[in-house]
């Protein structure tokens, strides 16, 4: 009986298998719960039932309450721990974003040390749009692209500045700050890619590494449109990857982001189109499984393409003109195979490790951070490690798309020549590769040494946070003297400094001053000055060369603002006396940068100018091949370009007469030629031209004249000859109709084509 009673009191065991995120609720009054094992998939629970009679009721009651309290506390602790693990990446991402924004907004006016015309024009064009009733000068409402520097190349970035202009006006910090806030979304997109797409354990590392990448640090503190295009393309990749993960509605977001990138920056257009086409082909099977969303996205894409189609109708041929302005080899007179060879050369140059990871890359100083490479050299092993990991995971669509985005990134830049602003989107896949490997490495270290997430996170946040602060401090303290070429060919320093100094100088003068500011310190200096002073500016734009090359009366109230190079030319000319520097602006090195100068001509200067003008009227002569025939070319005195530039079939090069109007070009062939036709590429101003053909006896055998009306852009004109045999000499006169002499006359190309043999 005792044995039977003892057997009846033995626990009756049951085993429960609980999957991850499943709940098991048991009546504890008759049970005792013991966890046997726990793994990633769930847990195994052993439950032993004990007979009620074997335990006194008061003990059972206390035991039940104790077990209940333990169960509730364990549940709360587990939820707390799981909730903390869930919220930790977002919490750290928030901290990283605050650090990112701080390192962009602090000292925004001081670094970069220039305020470039490409930045100023964003706000200027937004202002013109507002003042023009939201139409362009041709009357088109809400234009797709804006005219800038002989081309239509700005779009989204101008519209981004409209509301800030209405609220704050033309302010450097606002101009750049708007871009900083907009481009900060790139950090958010990269974090989300790490968190939701690649399932990284430390996805917030994306923000910190992006922030300390020097090429991005520099360009994200400007309002160049390349940073905005970078951000939109980053968003496009994120939304497309989410779509491929099964969140099919994200495809609409990908289409919108692609369109915004397309309308922001011309080199990225080719990257967007190439990405859309390639992703469509490689994921064709997946697309067929989601036909409805594909058709809707195509409809959305058609809607988003309407502004571009409208632009093509309104301004036909502008895309080709854009390539001409940039000097692309695609519009040069070379064979298709030569163009293709040049394209792949430029394309593969974009992958040069020397270009990306060495500090002295072949790039303009204003696009580099002095001793810092575009991407820190220490990141190269992480990038290579990420590439290796991705190759091993090639079957996973996420890593294939990452590789494809790297291969597609240089497509647009290769159409002209490698340049960091044109291939900036390459940083996106390179950064993703580096963080993929770093995240993998940290997880391995965590498993090996049993380090908690929190400890690793705090350590990485401390190290990379310090790196962010160091880079900002270095830029603000040492950045002004990294590149000490402050001229137009270098940093183009002086916009902010001149804007602060000129009003102060004018206000300090006892009498009104006729100020003449040199334009030679920066590209588009008139645009930059309009940004600060409005229209019209309270001074004239001009430089000392005008006074050196011809007689222009120097009034007593004139003050010329000159660069150091212009001061040197003034002194070396020997044409001036009583030179007084009444004020100056120093360069960051402490040397004089801009000099405010009063001066007078030496006695007898008019006779000197007359003698020089007579000498310049004598045509210059040079021996050069024309249409493959050795020739002697006589031409008016030039101040821009060399005479061979008008025969090179390159629409991006030109010559300019120093003062001759009309400009004269006289070609004498080494043997008589039979000519088919002649053409010239001239400026958009009203133009008169005369073409004369002479035979071996210097007899006039053909003469053609025409007046060209004004156009907004340079144009190629057919000079209208009929086929003419036995031409030994061609004389071409080109005159700006609205100007007398002296005046500048521009000529891009002059071509007389021979008849076929």
Please give the Cα distance from 368 to 352 (Å, whole number): 16
Which is higher by pLDDT, 746 or 85?
746
Q: What is the mean pLDDT of residues 449-477?
A: 93
- Of 234-238, 452-456, 753-757, least confident by mean pLDDT is 753-757
pLDDT tens sequence across 564-609: 999 999 999 999 999 999 999 999 999 999 999 999 999 999 999 8
Distances from the Cα of 502 to the Cαs of 117, 446, 494, 546, in angstroms?
18, 60, 11, 22
How far apart (Å, rounded) are the C-alpha atoms in residues 41 and 38? 8
d(CA 423, CA 411): 8
Sequential DSSP letters for 282-313: HTHHHHHTTHHHHHHHHHHHHHHHHHHHHHHH
Q: Which residue has the higher pLDDT, 376 or 737?
A: 376
Distance from the Cα of residue 72 to its chain's centroid? 56
Strand partners, 334: none
Q: Is 653 helix (H, G, I), strand (E, B) or coil?
A: coil
Spatial contact of 449 and 83, defined as CB atoms under 8 Å apart: no
- Which residues neighbour 54 within 8 Å (Cβ) at sequence distance 6 or greater? 9
Task: Quote the pLDDT of residue 32.
Answer: 46
Greatest Cα pair distance, the chain, in angstroms, is 145
What pLDDT, on a 0 to 100 scale, did the predictor assign at position 332? 73
Task: Give 169-218 pLDDT, tens digit per residue.
Answer: 999 999 999 999 999 999 999 999 999 999 999 999 999 999 999 999 99
The conformational region for residue 113 under phi > 0 = left, psi -120 to 50 = alpha, else beta, is alpha
Would you state the structure tokens that stand for residue 357, as one six-digit string?
């990871």
Residue 94, by phi and psi: left (phi above 0), alpha (psi -120 to 50) or beta?
alpha
Q: What mean pLDDT comes out for the span 643-665? A: 87
Please name which of 197, 199, 130, 124 lies closest in space to residue 166, comparing C-alpha atoms: 130
The whole-angstrom separation of Cα 147 and Cα 712 is 10
- Residues 6+ positions from 481 with CB-CB distance below 8 Å: 588, 589
Tell me how many degrees the CA angle 321-324-325 measures, rounded to the nearest 5.
Answer: 90
**Angle at 536 (CA atoms; ends 533, 541), nearest 5 degrees:** 85
Q: How far apart are CA 575 and CA 455, in angstroms?
A: 73
Q: What is the pLDDT of residues 26-55, one digit of tens each?
A: 444 444 444 444 444 455 555 444 444 455
- 352 φ, ψ (degrees, to nearest 5): -65, 120
Which residues, 6 or more positions from 222, have their beta carbon under 8 angstroms from its beta carbon? Answer: 112, 116, 119, 176, 179
Asked whether the bond before 70 is cis by omega within 30 degrees of 0, the reply is no
Reduce the DSSP state of residue 22 to 3 states and report it: coil
Distance, in Å, from the CA atom of 748 to the CA atom of 546, rounded to the nearest integer, reads 23
Give the tens place of pLDDT for each residue, 605-625: 999 988 888 888 889 999 988
User: pLDDT by residue (tens digit) across 205-264?
Assistant: 999 999 999 999 999 999 999 999 999 999 999 999 999 999 999 999 999 999 999 999
CATH 2.60.120.260 fits 617-754, yes or no: yes
Q: Which long-range contacts (CB under 8 A, 24 or more apart) does 468-472 make?
A: 468/99, 468/100, 468/103, 468/208, 468/211, 468/212, 469/103, 471/103, 471/212, 471/214, 471/217, 471/372, 472/102, 472/103, 472/106, 472/107
Highest mean pLDDT (candidates 128-137, 327-336, 735-744): 128-137
The answer to whether the predicted template modeling score (pTM) of the entire model surpasses 0.95 is no
Q: What angle do CA 200, 205, 207 make, to 5 degrees?
A: 120
- Pairwise CA distance, residues 237 & 229, whole Å: 12
pLDDT band, very low/low/confident/very high, at 81 (cuts 50, 70, 90): low
Average per-residue pLDDT for the chain: 87
Give the C-alpha separation, 325 to 307, whole Å: 23
Cα 285 from chain centre:
35
Between these two residues, 139 and 326, which has the higher pLDDT value?
Answer: 139
Query: How many other CB atoms sit within 10 Å of the CB of residue 506?
Result: 14
Structure tokens belonging to residue 729: 């000499």
Query: What length does the chain have?
Result: 757
**Token pair listed for 73:** 């506390």
Neighbours of 395 (CB within 10 A): 7
Q: Which residue has 């506390």 as its token pair? A: 73
Q: Which carries the bigger pLDDT value, residue 615 or residue 125? A: 125
Q: What is the pLDDT of residue 1?
A: 40
pLDDT computed for residue 317 by the predictor: 80
pLDDT at 436 over 90: yes
Please report, for the chain, the start and end positions of each structural domain, with discontinuous segments joined by +: 2-80, 119-477, 495-611, 617-754
CB 614 within 8 A of CB 606: no
pLDDT 10s digits, 474-520: 999 999 999 999 998 899 999 999 999 999 999 999 999 999 999 99
| pLDDT exceeds cutoff 80 at 7 | no
């Amino acid at each position: 009986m005792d044995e039977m009673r003892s057997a009846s009191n033995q626990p009756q065991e049951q085993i429960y298998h609980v999957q991850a995120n499943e709940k098991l609720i048991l009546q504890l009054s008759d049970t005792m719960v013991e966890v046997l094992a726990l793994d990633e998939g769930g847990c195994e629970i052993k439950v032993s039932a004990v007979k009620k009679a074997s335990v006194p009721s008061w003990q059972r009651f206390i035991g039940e309450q104790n077990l209940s309290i333990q169960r509730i506390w364990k549940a709360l602790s587990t939820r707390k721990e799981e909730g903390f693990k869930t919220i930790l990446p977002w919490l750290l991402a928030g901290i990283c974003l605050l650090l990112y924004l701080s390192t962009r907004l602090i000292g925004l006016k001081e670094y970069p040390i220039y305020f470039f015309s490409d930045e100023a024009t964003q706000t200027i064009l937004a202002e013109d749009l507002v003042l023009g009733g939201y139409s362009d000068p041709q009357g088109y409402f809400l234009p797709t692209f804006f005219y800038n520097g002989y081309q239509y190349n700005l779009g989204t970035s101008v519209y981004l500045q409209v509301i800030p202009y209405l609220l704050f006006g033309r302010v450097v910090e606002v101009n750049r700050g708007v871009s900083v806030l907009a481009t900060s979304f790139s950090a958010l997109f990269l974090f989300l890619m790490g968190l939701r797409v690649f399932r990284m354990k430390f996805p917030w590392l994306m923000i910190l590494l992006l922030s300390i990448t020097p090429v991005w640090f520099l360009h994200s503190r400007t309002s160049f449109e390349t940073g905005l295009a970078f951000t939109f393309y980053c968003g496009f990749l994120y939304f497309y990857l989410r779509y491929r993960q099964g969140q099919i509605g994200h495809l609409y977001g990908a289409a919108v982001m692609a369109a915004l990138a397309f309308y922001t920056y011309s080199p990225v257009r080719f990257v967007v189109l190439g990405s859309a086409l390639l992703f469509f082909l490689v994921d064709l099977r997946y697309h067929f499984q989601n036909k409805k969303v594909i058709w809707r996205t195509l409809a959305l894409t058609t809607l988003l393409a309407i502004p571009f189609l409208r632009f093509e109708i309104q301004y036909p041929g502008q895309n080709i003109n854009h390539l001409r302005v940039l000097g692309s080899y695609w519009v040069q007179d070379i064979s298709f195979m030569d163009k293709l060879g040049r394209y792949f050369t430029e394309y593969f140059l974009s992958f040069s490790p020397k270009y990306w990871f060495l500090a002295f890359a072949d790039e303009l100083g204003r696009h580099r951070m002095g001793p810092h490479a575009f991407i820190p050299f220490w990141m190269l092993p992480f990038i290579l490690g990420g590439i290796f990991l991705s190759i091993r995971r090639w079957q996973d669509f996420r890593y294939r798309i990452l590789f494809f985005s790297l291969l597609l990134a240089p497509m647009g830049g290769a159409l002209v020549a490698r340049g960091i602003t044109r291939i900036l989107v390459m940083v996106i896949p390179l950064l993703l590769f580096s963080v993929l490997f770093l995240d993998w490495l940290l997880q391995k270290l965590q498993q090996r040494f049993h380090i908690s997430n929190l400890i690793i996170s705090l350590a990485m946040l401390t190290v990379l946070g310090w790196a962010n602060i160091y880079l900002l401090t270095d830029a603000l303290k040492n950045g002004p003297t990294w590149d000490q070429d402050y001229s137009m060919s270098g940093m183009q320093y002086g916009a902010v400094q001149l804007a602060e100094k000129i009003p102060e100088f004018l206000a300090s003068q006892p009498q009104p001053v006729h100020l003449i500011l040199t334009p030679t310190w920066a590209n588009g200096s008139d645009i930059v000055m309009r940004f600060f002073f409005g229209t019209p500016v309270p001074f004239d734009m001009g430089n000392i060369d005008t006074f050196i090359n011809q007689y222009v009366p120097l009034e007593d109230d004139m003050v010329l603002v000159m660069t150091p190079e212009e001061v040197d030319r003034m002194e070396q000319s020997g044409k001036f006396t009583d030179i007084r520097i009444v004020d100056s602006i120093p360069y960051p090195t402490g040397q004089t940068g801009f000099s405010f100068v009063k001066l007078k001509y030496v006695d007898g200067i008019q006779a000197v100018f007359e003698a020089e003008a007579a000498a310049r009227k004598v045509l210059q002569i040079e021996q050069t091949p024309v249409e493959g025939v050795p020739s002697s070319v006589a031409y008016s005195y030039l101040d821009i370009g060399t005479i061979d530039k008008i025969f090179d079939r390159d629409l991006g090069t030109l010559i300019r007469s120093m003062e001759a109007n009309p400009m004269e070009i006289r070609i004498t062939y080494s043997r008589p030629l039979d000519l088919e036709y002649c053409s010239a590429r001239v400026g958009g101003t009203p133009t008169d031209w005369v073409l004369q053909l002479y035979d071996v006896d210097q007899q006039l055998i053909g003469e053609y004249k025409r007046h060209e009306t004004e156009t907004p852009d340079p144009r190629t004109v057919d000079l209208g000859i009929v086929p003419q045999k036995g031409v030994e000499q061609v004389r071409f006169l080109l005159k700006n109709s609205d100007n007398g002499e002296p005046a500048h006359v521009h000529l891009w190309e002059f071509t007389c084509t021979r008849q076929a043999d």
